[in-house]
Structure 1
Amino acid sequence: MTEEKLMSKKKPAYPVSPKLHQYLEDYNRNIEIPIFYDDLLRFSGSVVVYDQHDQDTLWIRVYYSEFERVEIDLSLKRVYSILHSDGSDDIIQYLNVDTIDYCTFGNSKPFRIKVRNILNDNFTYFYVKKTDASRIYGLELEHMLSPYNLNFLVYKDTLIEEHISGIPGDVFIKDMLPHCSEPEKAQIAKEFVKFNERCMIRLLGDMRSYNYVIVPTHDFDHVVYRIRAIDFDQQCYEGKFKVYRPQFFKENNIMVALVRDKLQHSSVDQYKIEERSMVAKRIKSSGKRIKKLMRCMRTDKISSRENIRQLKMEIFAYTQDVAFKKSRNMGNVLSAALDFVLRNYENVNVKRLLQQ
């Protein structure tokens, strides 16, 4: 299946509902910030940003008039303080906004802000984007259902996201994977199986290789690789079930081949069960928070009727769970998916206890 047929050409941005705004406020995500996305659009010039191989990165470095730059720099330093510290102005004197980059590729069209500590030259990034309900649901679900916590803020029509460190998947596959040892390749294959399963369960779509990163961690005498999503724009929008399974994107063909070459079917099944069990445990440990989020989602509109109808029937055909067939919106579909995973996990535990 070609990429054009798998994905819609353009996904609309959905507004944040009053219920979702209240949820964000309850969990300290909705915080007043001193700058809006539209303020950063007032740049007066730009240059193309190239990578180390002189390839166009699809980012442009933007510049502002001298008067506006002073105000924008100060506001961005305050945003950094709110995102990473206590929100006070005490650290602002030690910060410098090195670059402001703008990406014209994709739906979110983010600004990437590089902030440096002038005392030690340590730096970090954060992103400024337009709010989109799909993206906010995706970020919150990643925070609760993945192994990783996420830090982000929402204020009116502006979304602030922390940077997720790692090696872009497409870069890793092209430049680094060929040099990995055979045990490392087997471990990466295992992680891709788990990542694929996690995306499918929580309906995070469009995980092409440039929408996730590989995170290497040194552990004693070897390197452990993890896979993290970095783009949450396609949470519960598309109608095709394959969109939520990274294995079906041609950009991931090498990873799929790695799974086929390095893992037996029994191992793949084992890793899928492990990931479903971990997601079920996270659902249970998230308590009221995920229940409140799903209540928001079940009353929200984040996709089209056609996509909802197609997705619920495709997942029904995959699971034979009638709850999918009865779903009226994407919130219902995702609730049914999480309930399906949780129910199977609990049934297995009941059987295990009965056998003891």
Structure 2
Amino acid sequence: MSEEKLMSKKKPAYPIIPALDAYLDKYNRKIEIPIFYEDLLRFAGSVVVYDQKGEDSLWVRVFYSDSERKEIDFSLKRVYSILHSDGSDRIFQYLNVDAVDYCTFGNSKPFRIKVRNILNDNFTYFYVKRTDASRIYGLELEHMLSPYNLNFLVYKDTLIEEHIAGIPGDTFIKEMLPECTEGQKAQLAKEFVKFNERCMIRLLGDMRSYNYVIVPVHDFDHVVYRIRAIDFDQQCFEGKLKVYRPQFFKENNIMVGLVKNKLLSDSVDQYKVEERSIVAKRILSSGQRIRRMVQIAKTDAISLPENIERLKSEIFELTKDVHFKKCETMGDILELALDFVKRNYENVSMRQIIEKRIEL
């Protein structure tokens, strides 16, 4: 299926409603910052940023007038301190803002800020974006339901996100996958199955290969790979269920091929069950936090009516759970999807306990 038919042409940005704003405040996601996204748009010029092969990276490096550069540098150092430290200015003397890059590709059009420690040349990135409610829900769900914690801040119309380190999926598939051992390819196939399942469960869409990263992890005498989402714009928006399953994007065909070549169908089913169980455990352990967020999402307009109608119909066809037919918002669908996974896990666990007691 072509990308044009699978994805909508453009997703609108949705405002943060008061209930979500209060939620962000309660969980320390909302904090006053000294610079806004709109401030960074006042650049005086830009040059194209090329990658190591001399190809256009789709980022441009922006420059500011002398009258604004000093204030912007100071403000960005302050943001770095708030995001990664205690917010004080005592570390400013050791920091340098090496680059401010602007991405002209995609919905969010983020700024990427490179901050370097001048004492040892270590550097890191963070991103400045326009606030979008669906992106906020995506970040929060990733924080609670994936193996990874996320650090981000929201202030009015500006979102600050920490950098997620890893090798871009498209780069890895093209340049590094061919050099992997057969064992590593099998392990990557397993991770892709789990990643595919996790995205579908929490309704995270558009996981084309350039919207996730591959993270190599050294474990004793070998390397294992993890897959992390890095783009959360398409949380709970699209109406086609296939959009929430990375396997259906042509950019992931090679990864799908790995799964077919390296894993038996029984193994694929096993890894799906493992991932559902892990997500269910995270739902249970997250307690009131995820329930509060989902309740807010149920009252929030983060998609189009026709998308809601289509998605609830397609999920019903998959699960045969009639409750999906009654959903009125994307938040309703998300709540039922998470509850479906949790209930199945709890029912299986209870059945195992009962069977164990019978054996005893």
Task: Work out whether the TM-score is over 0.5.
Answer: yes
Per the alignment, residue 149 of structure 2 pairs with 149
**Equivalent position SS for 1:11:** coil
Q: Distance in 1 between matches of 2:45 and 2:259?
A: 46
Question: How far did residue 16 of structure 1 move?
Answer: 0.4
Correspondence 1:337 to 2:318:
no
Matches of 1:2 and 1:181, distance apart in 2: 31
- C-alpha displacement of 1:324: 1.1
Question: What is the match of residue 203 of structure 2?
Answer: 203
Residue 70 of structure 1: how far off its partner (Å): 0.2
Q: Who is 1:97 aligned against?
A: 97
Distance 2:3 2:160 in 1: 30
Secondary structure of 1:101's counterpart equals: strand
Structure 1 runs not aligned, ≥5 long: none
What is the letter of the counterpart of residue 244 of structure 2? Y
User: CA offsets, 1:261-310, max 9 Å, x none?
Assistant: 00000000000000000000000000000011001100100000000000
**4+ runs deviating over 4 angstroms:** none
Residue 200 (structure 1) shift? 0.2
Give the match for residue 347 of structure 1. Answer: 347
Aligned to 2:165: 165
- Give the SS at the match of 2:29: coil
- Per-residue CA deviation, residues 189-243 of structure 1 (Å, 9 max, x unaligned), is 0000000000000000000000000000111110010000000000000000000
Paired with 1:96 and 1:235, the residues of 2 have a C-alpha distance of: 34
Could you tell me the TM-score, scaled by structure 2's length?
A: 0.99
**Residue of structure 1 equivalent to 2:301:** 301
Give the counterpart letter for 1:188 in structure 2: L
Name the Cα RMSD after superposition.
0.4
Within-5 A mapping of 1:125-274: 125-274=125-274
2:205 alignment partner AA: G
CA distance in 2, matches of 1:322, 1:55: 51
1:78 maps to which residue? 78
Quote the Cα distance in structure 2 between the aligned partners of 1:168 and 1:33.
29
Q: Which sections of structure 2, spanning at least 5 residues, go unmatched? A: none
Corresponding residue number in structure 2 for 1:326: 326
Q: Secondary structure at the match of 1:34?
A: coil
* Within-5 A mapping of 1:42-121: 42-121=42-121
Whichever residue aligns with residue 326 of structure 1, its letter is: K
Find the counterpart in structure 2 of residue 8 from structure 1: 8
* Percent of pairs with identical residues: 77
For residue 269 of structure 1, what is the amino acid of its counterpart?
D
Instruction: Give distance in 2, aligned partners of 1:11 and 1:212.
Output: 19
The amino acid of 1:10's aligned partner reads: K
Distance in 2 (alpha carbons) for counterparts of 1:69 and 1:321: 57
TM-score by length of structure 1 reads: 1.00
Shift of 1:93: 1.0
